[in-house]
Structures are given as C-alpha cells and as structure tokens.
C-alpha cells in the first residue's frame, strides 16, 4: 500500500502514510499554459490511498485527475474536507444537489471512501461505493486537555453541532452545552438567548466548520455578555473565508484552531492517525 495526495492535502497525506507505515508517492503538479491542471505521479502500488480535500474547485479537479492517474490500482479515497457537502438539499427551486454531484464524480475509479466530519452523514449515500465517515472530535478534546483553561466549558453554536460537542467533551471530561441558531444568510445568523452560567469560565466553542466565522462570532458575543472569562474556538475544517480568522480574533476570540483536513497555520490537531486507523480497520 502507498499513499498519494493532492497539493492542498500533502501534509495530512504524509501523516496518514506515517500512520499506515506506508510509502508516499511523489507527484509533480503543474499547469498547461492555458491554466489547465496537469500532474504526473511516481510509481503507484497495487493498493493506493488517495488523500485530497475538496477545498476549492481547483482542488476538486486535481483530485479527479489524481484518481484517474491511479487507474488500475485498488484505490481508497480519503476526502478530509468535502466542499459542496453543505448544499445537500435543493433548498430553493432550480438549485443543484451539489453534494451528490461531487460524491458521484469522486466515486469513479475508487473502491471505498473515507470522509472526515462530513457536514451531514446522509451525503455518504451519494457515493456509489461504500463510504465511511470518521470524527476528529476526540482528537480535538484530547488537544484541549493540554491547554491551560479555567473552569472550561465546551459549547456547540447550534443543535447540529451538539453531538460533536458532546464527543469533544467526553474526551476531555468537561461540561458542555449548545445554543440554538437560525441562519439568516450566508454570513448572518441569529441565536436564541440562553443563560449558560459561564461567568468567570473559559468557553471553547466547537463546530465542524468555520467558514465566514459568523456563527462563532455571534456565539462569542453572547458569551462575553454573560461574563465568560475567555472564549476560544475550535473546529475540524478551518475554511476561514473572507478573513474569518482575523474577524474572530479582532472580535475578542482569544484563540482559534482547527485540524489539518484543511491545512492551515493554526492546524494544531492532525487527523492523520485517526484516518490511518480507520483505513486499517475497514
């Protein structure tokens, strides 16, 4: 077995390889003069693990090309961050079911798929091969235990993240709670007031994705009004669109970190070992 990755997932790809005690395959990535992607792999194995997050449309094309370049091998596809997964329904007439489009395209040429904290597990049914989702909640929880926090509480910003927050809290043995969120637009959310008893506490808001940061910013503001001592934010997928990281820090969030499903300078938790263990167990 060997491991290969797209450009945006090269660090996580190497960590997955370390967890599997497998060799990595070198890839030369470039573009044609007109901007089209080109790649050429080194010698692949009969069994390949292909690691590629769909962080952008370019990353998606690169991943499709990489899967095709591994044709003839038994391919396990790891999609650490699956962009387009949030468009998992037709919310309005005339919209595409984008999650299905991406899942179907990625299914061609692979035998099985592993995703990480996919936005909605129902999306797995759109892959045309067996697909399994793995959670990095425990990895985040273990990381939190190494931080110097006072009266720590884990908070989910919405009911959708409540299960995830419970898993994080189980790994660090802290209390947890959740808020109720209504999304008003792509950037704006409203949260129902809830008394959380956070006065003097350090609160860690946890979510699957930080995209615009609107969700975390709204929750953090409510927590500060209720006397929280310090507010931190942690997520699996640090998308941080439109300057979200700076927006959160500027808005008083003490620190923000994510995992390496999207490779960032603040990727302080790696999914490499958990993903490797999942592949071994499959």
- 181 as an active site residue: the answer is yes
- Cα torsion 61, 66, 72, 73 to 10°: value is -130
Question: What is the spatial distance between Cα 201 and Cα 204, in angstroms, rounded to a whole number?
Answer: 10
Does position 210 bind ligand R5P by CB under 6 A? yes
**Alpha carbon of 259 to those of 84, 133, 277: distances in Å?**
19, 16, 17
CB of 234 to ligand R5P, least distance (A): 13
Does position 88 bind ligand R5P by CB under 6 A? no
Does position 214 bind ligand R5P by CB under 6 A? yes
Residues in region 159-198 near ligand R5P by CB under 6 A: 160-161
Beta carbons of 133 and 85 less than 8 angstroms apart: no
CB-wise, 16 or 235, nearer to ligand R5P? Answer: 235
Does position 17 bind ligand R5P by CB under 6 A? no
CB-wise, 154 or 209, nearer to ligand R5P? Answer: 209
Does position 137 bind ligand R5P by CB under 6 A? no
CB of 4 to ligand R5P, least distance (A): 29
| Bridge partner list, 269 | 259
DSSP-based three-state secondary structure for 74: strand
Does position 83 bind ligand R5P by CB under 6 A? no
Question: Using CB under 6 A, which of 212, 259, 261, 274 touches ligand R5P?
Answer: 212
Does position 213 bind ligand R5P by CB under 6 A? yes
CB-wise, 7 or 207, nearer to ligand R5P? Answer: 207
Q: Alpha helices of 108-160 — where are they, by DSSP H? A: 137-145
94 phi, psi to nearest 5 deg: 85, -5
Beta carbons of 274 and 251 less than 8 angstroms apart: no
Tokens of 151: 């009266």
Considering only the stretches 109-117, 170-178, 206-214, 260-268, report the one whose residues sit in contact with ligand R5P under the rule CB under 6 A.
206-214
CB-wise, 22 or 235, nearer to ligand R5P? Answer: 235
Catalytic residue among 180, 181, 194, 273: 181
Does position 55 bind ligand R5P by CB under 6 A? no
CB-wise, 45 or 120, nearer to ligand R5P? Answer: 120
Considering only the stretches 25-33, 96-104, 125-133, 208-216, report the one whose residues sit in contact with ligand R5P under the rule CB under 6 A.
208-216
Among 241, 246, 239, residue whose Cα is nearest residue 264: 239
The helix (H) or strand (E) run that includes residue 64 is: helix 57-69
Does position 149 bind ligand R5P by CB under 6 A? no
Tokens of 137: 């909640």
Cβ-based neighbour number of residue 95 at 10 Å: 10
Please give the sequence-ordered ranges of beta strands (E in DSSP) within the chain, or none if there are none.
2-5, 23-24, 27-31, 37-41, 47-51, 74-79, 112-116, 131-134, 153-156, 175-178, 181-183, 189-191, 202-210, 230-238, 255-259, 267-269
Does position 75 bind ligand R5P by CB under 6 A? no
Does position 211 bind ligand R5P by CB under 6 A? yes
Does position 207 bind ligand R5P by CB under 6 A? yes
Catalytic annotation, residues: 181
**Residues of the shown chain interacting with ligand R5P in the complex, contacts defined by CB under 6 A:** 157-158, 160-161, 207-215
């Amino acid at each position: 077995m060997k491991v290969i990755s797209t450009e945006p997932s090269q660090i996580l790809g190497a960590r997955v390889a370390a967890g599997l005690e497998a060799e990595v395959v070198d890839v030369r990535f470039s573009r044609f003069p007109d901007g089209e992607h080109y790649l050429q792999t080194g010698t692949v194995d009969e069994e390949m693990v292909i690691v590629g997050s769909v962080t952008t449309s370019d990353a998606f094309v690169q991943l499709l090309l990489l899967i095709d370049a591994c044709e003839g091998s038994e391919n396990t596809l790891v999609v650490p961050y699956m962009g387009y997964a949030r468009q998992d329904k037709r919310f309005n007439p005339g919209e595409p079911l984008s999650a299905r489009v991406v899942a179907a395209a990625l299914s061609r040429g692979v035998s099985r798929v592993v995703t990480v904290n996919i936005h909605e597990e129902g999306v797995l049914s759109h892959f045309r091969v067996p697909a399994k989702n793995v959670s990095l909640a425990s990895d985040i929880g273990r990381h939190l235990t190494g931080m110097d926090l006072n009266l720590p509480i884990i908070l989910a910003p919405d009911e959708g993240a409540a299960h995830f927050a419970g898993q994080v809290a189980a790994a660090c043995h802290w209390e947890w709670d959740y808020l109720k969120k209504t999304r008003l637009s792509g950037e704006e959310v409203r949260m129902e007031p809830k008394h959380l008893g956070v006065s003097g506490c350090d609160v860690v808001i946890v979510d699957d994705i930080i995209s615009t940061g609107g969700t975390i910013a709204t929750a953090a503001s409510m927590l500060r009004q209720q006397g929280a001592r310090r507010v931190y934010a942690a997520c699996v997928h640090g998308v941080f669109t439109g300057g979200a990281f700076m927006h959160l820090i500027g808005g008083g969030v003490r620190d923000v970190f994510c995992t390496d499903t999207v490779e960032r300078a603040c990727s302080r938790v790696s999914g490499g070992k958990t993903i490797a263990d999942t592949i071994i167990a499959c």
